[in-house]
Structure 1
Amino acid sequence: MIMGKSKYAVHLTDDQRSFLEGLTHRGKSAASSIRHAYILLHADKPDPEVAAIVRCHPQSVFNIRKTFVTRGLDAALHRKIRDAPPRPRKLDGEGEARLLQIACSEPPEGYGRWTLQLLADRLVELQIVESISIKTVERTLKKRAPAAHQKAVGHPAPRKRELCRRDGGCAGGLPTSV
């Protein structure tokens, strides 16, 4: 079968080849880096054949070749770190501070404590955000201030103290210390 020449032909120097061989033999690097090294070491073969050897999609082989030719060996071995998150954050530092301030304040009349839904509704009501999910509120409280999260959501029910045997059975309840 006659294959056309690839647009991105990989030509490894002796130093690069020995570095890649050392990387694959040591096995101390990330799995993706080792896979990319194998792809580059088999660069003299067609993409589908390399994909079969390395057990990946031929498009992955093409992408690694392209990255090597356009951006170099280091870029081909290591994944690109994302510059910015996929979506802007709902709460910036000021919004998080306001959320913590609200969570630590007295709950609305008729409520014993703040719920996540009440906090989310209050943030929208005060026009801190246009909309926010209770999961975002929970994640922010949990990450920023564990005490505020416990105060907002409440403490878990007290656990019953029991004496357990090695086989997993329980002998019964124990009185709590006063």
Structure 2
Amino acid sequence: MVYKTRQRCVEEGPEAALKDRPRPGKAPKLTEKQAAHLIAVACSDAPEGHDHWTLRLLADKVVELSYSDSCSYETIRQLLKKHPKTLAEAGMVHSRGKF
């Protein structure tokens, strides 16, 4: 890593060595605004007939709100994992008790 960083600095200048290059990958399914709204939904009361929001219910809500044509519960899990403080402050209980 040090060799590559040094090489980039020599070839492209110090600014190039300090910043990461764009990485390949898929664009996020939800915008920041949509993600914030979904977190607010997750912090609200569960739908009728359910005790709490599940990942699958939230994934279905993404489709219902027309944020995306499809959404997996894994996408929701990763989104919520990135924002644990928001959920902890809202009084949600984390299964591992870390928050």
1:83 matches 2:22: yes
1:132 matches 2:68: no
| Residue identity in the other structure for 2:44 | S
**Quick one: distance in 2 between partners of 1:132 and 1:109?**
21
Deviation at 1:74, TM superposition (A): 3.0
Task: Provide the TM-score with structure 2 as the length reference.
Answer: 0.67
Cα distance change on mapping 1:155 and 1:127 into 2, 3 Å: same
Aligned length: 89
Deviation at 1:83, TM superposition (A): 2.4
- The structure 2 residue matched to 1:74, chosen from 8, 11, 18, is 11
| Residue identity in the other structure for 1:124 | V
- The structure 1 residue matched to 2:85, chosen from 146, 152, 155, is 146
| Residue identity in the other structure for 2:82 | K
- The runs of 5 or more residues in structure 1 that have no matched partner are 1-29, 38-67, 159-178
Cα distance change on mapping 1:83 and 1:147 into 2, 3 Å: closer
Deviation at 1:138, TM superposition (A): 1.3
Tell me: higher relative CO, structure 1 or 2? Use CA pairs within 8 A at least 6 residues apart. 2
Q: Secondary structure at the match of 2:50?
A: coil
- The runs of 5 or more residues in structure 2 that have no matched partner are none
Identity percentage of aligned residues = 35
Task: Provide the TM-score with structure 1 as the length reference.
Answer: 0.41
